[in-house]
């Protein structure tokens, strides 16, 4: 059985549950491996939808809507029961002007 992997994405640490914000330098000083590339995360743990989701949120915040949408859809394929993935997909689609698709995503979030 594989131990639970803690993944640091930017300055967010994904362990279990909600992310804890920890300065990246502090993490590195205690030997936490910082992973910023979703492909690298997936090589370690291909089902780490939390890491995928976290990176998608960061991409959205940076205005990279196409990449955010791609990653959110990937996270949804891994875990279609996570309502926050659909909620964030709705936000991305709304920002892209795709209102009807955004509404569909929001509806999926509340199912």
Residue with tokens 């279990």: 16
d(CA 111, CA 48): 23
Quote the pTM value: 0.65
Question: In the chain, how long is the greatest CA-to-CA distance?
Answer: 46
Name the pLDDT band for 1 (thresholds 50, 70, 90).
Answer: very low
Name the pLDDT band for 103 (thresholds 50, 70, 90).
Answer: very high
Q: pLDDT tens for residues 8-67?
A: 444 344 333 334 455 666 666 766 665 666 667 767 777 788 888 988 988 898 899 999
User: Are the beta carbons of 54 and 19 closer than 8 angstroms?
Assistant: yes
How many helices, marked H, and strands, marked E, lie in the chain? Answer: 6, 3
- What DSSP string runs through 32-44? PPB---HHHHHHH
């Amino acid at each position: 059985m594989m131990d639970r992997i803690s993944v640091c994405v930017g300055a967010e640490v994904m362990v279990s549950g909600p992310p804890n914000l920890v300065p990246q330098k502090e993490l590195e000083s205690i030997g936490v491996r910082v992973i910023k590339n979703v492909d690298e995360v997936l090589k370690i743990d291909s089902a780490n939808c939390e890491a995928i989701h976290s990176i998608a949120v960061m991409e959205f915040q940076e205005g990279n809507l196409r990449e955010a949408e791609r990653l959110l859809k990937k996270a949804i394929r891994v875990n279609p029961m996570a309502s926050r993935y659909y909620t964030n997909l709705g936000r991305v689609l709304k920002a892209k002007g795709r209102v009807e698709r955004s509404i569909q995503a929001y509806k999926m979030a509340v199912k």
